[in-house]
Structure 1
Amino acid sequence: MENEKTTKSLILVIDDNPEILEFLVDDLSESYDVLEASNGKTGLDLLDRHNVHLIICDIMMPEMDGYEFCHTIKSDISYSHIPVILLTAKNTLQSKIKGLEQGADVYIEKPFSIAHLNAQIQSLLANRNKLRDYFVESPLVHLRTMARSKADHCFLERLNEIIEEHMTDIHFDVEHLADLMCMSRTTLYRKINAISDLTPNDFINLARLKKAAILLSEGQLKIYEISEQVGYSSQTQFGRNFHKQFGVTPSQYIGETLNNAKPMNTIGD
């Protein structure tokens, strides 16, 4: 049973109304692991200790309301990737705009349908997984496509910049990356894993292979030269890893790129 639990997404529910909180926790516990908090400050404490995948938060709460809570986590690089659903009794357009401006992914008015809430949760989690798969499996998709907030975008741009600067260094690893990102290894691991479902070392290797795909598509360098430029001491190992990641060898990828670049014949040619 323990193995089954670890495969569930972890949802944090924040609401100062005990009845609503209990109702949401009971319903969501059938499909997810659930944490509960009665205000935003308690919610932040839980985020520090748990790898949360999605947050459902009421707006009208004491100590820290939902707007402030949402703004706080979407501005914090440690949490900015987490989807947020705001629940509120306010049904004005102004309040909805304010919620979205604070970084909320979905805004749901009370009273709400639990079926509608569940559909929104499933959609947010499924879309995140599809985006991860698309990023990992597509050679030319840039990692900035994984950003869900301004803080995420800045983090990923900086991450990509540092990895590219050290691309030729075969010894560049997560220790170096964490130092240059001014983050602890634990924080860096949690952030990269949450965004991409990869370990930092796997992420670095994927960045190397994606850079190689760009160089291969440009057709200016030989495969062994590209292998060296992206930090591989062995062309054989590079080819094996490229094939494992993208399903084609570097040579096959070059062939596909050339075929796709050929202009189509027009009628009469």
Structure 2
Amino acid sequence: MEKNLSHTLLLVDDNEDILEFLSDDLGDRYHILTALNGKKALNILDSESVDLVVSDIMMPEMDGFELCAAIKSGLEYSHVPVILLTAKNTLQSKIEGLELGADAYVEKPFSPEFLAVQILNLLKNRDKVKAYFSSAAPPQSRGLAPTRSDDLFLEKLRQVINANISNPDLDVDHLADSLHMSRPTFYRKVKAISDLSPNELINLARLRKAVELLNGGVLKIYEIAEMVGYSSQTQFGRNFQKQFGMSPTDYLKNPAG
């Protein structure tokens, strides 16, 4: 099985023996955090960047269904995949978990190898979305996000960036305020979905808009630089070169690359 210690898993179970077993089994591949119930898991999610949650269903204080609902219903961590573990071998139990947004359902007693493959597949899917953002950074992001609420979040984020794209002072604080989120929560959310910092996302949006304006063939380069929020043509040219491997002038000569 592949090693990827850059990913963090949150394991949630009120049985400490199971937590220890799973931690030992998965700890050589992932960074592991643990919680004994859903409430403690949410506290961890509030302060840590978590890539995937594996949770038992039957727990005191807050069970796995309630935890899954809390994760998937709010913007803060709806992007985090959830695998539910259960001893309930009933169709209704599975339906309930999936309706709450669970990404996978594993019955106890489970094969550690089967669980590991489920985890790996979900993380690979998330990484594909991240790679798409960081390489192409598409202006239209609908349908890419793992949940409907994340689709809405990304669409709103795109709208805010585009509406303020000529403002050189547009930054993470402005975006977080516009989406009614704290700065740390907003930063973690954007990074988790796109693998980009908010400032990197802003920069890519500026450059995408610049390409669109360059393709129009009407405006001068210094005018475009100002329209997409760069304080100088030099800064614009440097960022354009870094992203696309050519200067704006060279792009105009050969827009197809």
Q: TM-score, normalised on structure 1?
A: 0.82
Q: Distance in 2 between matches of 1:185 and 1:238?
A: 26
Alpha-carbon offset, residue 253 of structure 1: 5.2
Partner residue of 2:81? Answer: 83
Contact 2:137 2:204 in 1 (8 A): no
The superposition leaves residues 108-149 of structure 1 with CA deviations (integer Å, 9 ceiling, x where unpaired) of 222221112112212222222222122111154534455222
Q: More displaced, 34-43 or 180-189? A: 180-189
The superposition leaves residues 61-86 of structure 1 with CA deviations (integer Å, 9 ceiling, x where unpaired) of 22222111111111121111111111
Which runs of structure 2 are paired with 1:90-101 in the superposition (5 Å)? 90-101=88-99
Give percent identity, aligned residues only. Answer: 56
The superposition leaves residues 222-265 of structure 1 with CA deviations (integer Å, 9 ceiling, x where unpaired) of 54443322112333432331232233444565677669xxxxxx
Contact 1:14 1:57 in 2 (8 A): yes
Which runs of structure 2 are paired with 1:213-224 in the superposition (5 Å)? 213-217=211-215, 221-224=219-222
| Equivalent residue in structure 2 for 1:201, among 199, 202, 220 | 199
Contact 2:5 2:29 in 1 (8 A): no
Residues 250 and 30 of structure 1, relative CA distance in 2, 3 Å threshold: same
1:32 aligns with 2:36: no
Q: More displaced, 78-87 or 171-180? A: 171-180
Partner residue of 1:246? Answer: 244
1:117 aligns with 2:115: yes
Partner residue of 1:45? Answer: 43
Contact 1:135 1:142 in 2 (8 A): no
Contact 1:140 1:213 in 2 (8 A): no
Contact 1:178 1:188 in 2 (8 A): yes
Contact 1:12 1:34 in 2 (8 A): yes
Q: Distance in 2 between matches of 1:82 and 1:220?
A: 44
Residue identity in the other structure for 1:42: K
Q: More displaced, 66-75 or 202-211? A: 202-211
Contact 1:12 1:36 in 2 (8 A): yes
Partner residue of 1:108? Answer: 106
List runs of 5+ in structure 1 lacking aligned partners.
1-5, 260-269
The 3-state SS of whatever aligns with 2:226 is helix
Residue identity in the other structure for 1:22: E
Contact 1:53 1:82 in 2 (8 A): yes
Q: Distance in 1 between matches of 2:42 and 2:147?
A: 18
1:55 aligns with 2:31: no
List runs of 5+ in structure 2 lacking aligned partners.
none
Q: Distance in 2 between matches of 1:26 and 1:143?
A: 38
The 3-state SS of whatever aligns with 1:56 is strand
Partner residue of 2:158? Answer: 160
Contact 2:14 2:37 in 1 (8 A): yes
Contact 1:139 1:213 in 2 (8 A): no
Residues 95 and 220 of structure 1, relative CA distance in 2, 3 Å threshold: farther
| Equivalent residue in structure 2 for 1:132, among 130, 133, 136 | 130
Contact 2:141 2:151 in 1 (8 A): no
The superposition leaves residues 168-217 of structure 1 with CA deviations (integer Å, 9 ceiling, x where unpaired) of 11122223222322222222222222222222222211221223334445
Q: Report the aligned-residue RMSD.
A: 2.6
Q: TM-score, normalised on structure 2?
A: 0.86
